[in-house]
């Protein structure tokens, strides 16, 4: 007989079928209750039902096997918890996992509308949601108690009064790795950052990027708590509503001058910085391949695109795609652009919680992408990499000049791709 714990206020009930291991072990059945109350309180109770009596009958082990013919309406046997599912890249990961028939637990902090998109990425009962707090171990443990895979994407481009880089990138990552190990999770995939190091060199900030410093500490902490974890160290990712191409496409990152001239402040005018951006969809494919490959356990991957670009060439190309005249684009020295510094401080004062950029984000912009010798890449996982030139017209189309003007063929010449750097 199944027996439900008493005293639970059930709202929308969703059954979760999970296993102790991929391909082995008996099924566990849980009910996750997503009942919301007024005000700031949100309740989510997980009730574990009694485990079925162990026997040799195949009927008691039906949930140990795959269900369906594959796709979003099937169950592949993998149950994954994706921390950071409400972010830019989280949607790519949830979509890839849902497409392969994975049941996905989506923990989130904030408004439920922040996770409205992942609801469509799997069939009914395949995508589940659970309110959490990064400092509440009980909620974190509840989010992965039925999962055999955990993906940690939690990150922030700027600090807030509630969370510092240390809280998110180091302490939060360490806490998730420790609880994943205690919960019996088989695979943990942790997202760090390319160029993360204990003492990053300074460009705009004399002490260097605190984000990169704490990302390195978090990576080391994850290795200590979960030695067989898979670590991804991605470069700047581009895609729909990203934090790379749109950073330059939006008006916050430039200063308008007289006569239609546009000034973009850069460290040493971008001539000493080399970037190797990667398409977010390719990274999503790499996540799935790494989770399915037993040989990836304990490895660290440098996640980069196929081409390297000098920053000044790349930004000039971005603005030409945005239909700016090359004669009106001015790349200036960052430290000599006082209007931009005043604009940046004003924006951060008006929008302290989610500013479009911060000083630390600007600092990371001028760090050259450097690969670690010996680290495998997406190419080693068999991912076909997409060059930035093949996607940029679609990704920044909403930000073009004269976007509602019906241009004739050839009226706006197609810019040449930027030269490749080494």
pLDDT in 10s for each residue of the chain, 422 residues: 333 333 333 333 344 444 433 333 333 333 344 433 333 333 333 333 333 333 333 334 445 556 777 788 888 889 999 999 999 999 999 999 999 999 999 999 988 888 999 999 998 889 999 999 999 999 999 999 999 999 999 988 888 888 999 999 999 999 999 999 999 999 999 999 999 999 999 998 999 999 999 999 999 999 999 999 999 999 999 998 899 999 999 988 998 888 889 999 999 999 999 999 999 999 999 999 999 999 999 999 999 999 999 999 999 999 999 999 989 999 999 887 888 888 888 888 888 877 888 889 999 999 999 999 999 999 999 999 999 999 999 999 999 999 889 888 888 889 999 999 98
Helices first, then strands: H and E counts in the chain: 11, 17
Could you give the CA distance from residue 68 to residue 51 in angstroms, rounded to a whole number?
A: 24
3-state SS, residue 24: strand
Q: Side-chain half-sphere of 250: how many Cα atoms within 13 Å?
A: 12
Residue 45, pLDDT score: 35
Tokens 């795609």 correspond to 321
pLDDT value for 63: 52
The pair of structure tokens assigned to 140 is 């974190």
Distance CA 320, CA 296 (A): 40
List Cβ neighbours of 241 (8 Å cut-off, separation of 6 or more). Answer: 88
pLDDT at 65: 58
pLDDT at 258: 83
**Beta partners for 130?**
107
Instruction: Give phi and psi for 419, each to the nearest 5.
Output: -65, 150
Report the run of H or E that residue 59 belongs to, with start and end.
none
DSSP one-letter string for 355-409: -S--HHHHHHHTSPP-PPTT---GGGGT-----GGGTHHHHTGGG-TTTTS-PPT
Q: What is the DSSP string of 170-205?
A: IIIHHHHHHHHHHTT-SEEEEE--TT--SSPPPSSS
Are 173 and 221 a contacting pair, CB within 8 Å? yes
Task: Give the single-character DSSP code of 9.
Answer: -
State both tokens at 421.
């750097």
- CB-based contacts of 324, cutoff 8 Å, min separation 6: 262, 401
Strand ranges across the sheet with 127-131: 127-131, 103-108, 79-83, 149-152, 187-191, 230-234, 300-303
């Amino acid at each position: 007989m199944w027996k439900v714990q008493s005293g639970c206020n059930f709202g929308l009930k969703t059954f979760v079928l999970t296993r102790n291991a991929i391909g082995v072990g008996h099924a566990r059945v849980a009910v996750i209750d997503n009942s919301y109350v007024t005000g700031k309180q949100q309740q989510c109770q997980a009730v574990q039902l009694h485990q079925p009596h162990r026997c040799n009958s195949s009927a008691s082990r039906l949930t140990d096997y795959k269900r369906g013919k594959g796709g979003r309406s099937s169950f592949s046997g993998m149950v994954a918890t994706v921390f950071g599912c409400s972010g830019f890249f989280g949607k790519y990961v949830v979509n890839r996992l849902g497409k392969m028939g994975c049941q996905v637990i989506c923990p989130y902090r904030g408004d439920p509308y922040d996770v409205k998109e992942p609801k469509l990425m799997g069939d009914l009962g395949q995508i589940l949601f659970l309110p959490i707090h990064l400092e509440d171990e009980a909620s974190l443990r509840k989010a992965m108690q039925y999962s055999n895979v955990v993906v940690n994407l939690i990150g922030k481009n700027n600090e807030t009064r509630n969370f510092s880089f240390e809280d998110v990138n180091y302490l939060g990552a360490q806490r998730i790795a420790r609880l994943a190990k205690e919960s019996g999770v088989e695979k943990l995939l942790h997202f760090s950052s390319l160029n993360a190091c204990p003492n990053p060199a300074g460009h705009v900030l004399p002490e260097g990027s605190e984000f990169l410093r704490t990302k390195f500490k978090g990576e080391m902490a994850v290795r200590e708590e979960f030695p067989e974890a898979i670590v991804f160290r991605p470069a700047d990712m581009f895609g729909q509503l990203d934090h790379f191409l749109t950073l330059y496409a939006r008006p916050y990152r430039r200063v308008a001058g007289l006569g239609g001239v546009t000034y973009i402040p850069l460290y040493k005018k971008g001539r000493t910085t080399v970037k190797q951006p990667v398409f977010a969809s390719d990274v999503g494919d790499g996540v799935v391949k790494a989770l399915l490959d037993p040989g990836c356990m304990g490895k660290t991957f440098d996640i980069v695109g196929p081409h390297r670009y000098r920053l000044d060439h790349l930004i000039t190309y971005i603005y030409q795609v945005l239909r700016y005249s090359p004669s009106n684009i001015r790349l200036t020295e960052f430290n000599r652009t006082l209007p931009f510094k005043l604009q940046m401080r004003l924006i951060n004062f008006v929008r302290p919680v989610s500013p479009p950029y911060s000083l630390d984000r600007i600092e990371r912009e001028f760090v050259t992408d450097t690969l670690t010798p010996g680290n495998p890449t997406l190419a080693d996982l068999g991912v076909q990499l997409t060059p930035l030139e093949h996607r940029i017209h679609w990704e920044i189309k909403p930000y073009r000049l004269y976007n509602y003007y019906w241009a004739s063929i050839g009226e706006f010449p197609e810019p040449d791709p930027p030269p490749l750097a080494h």
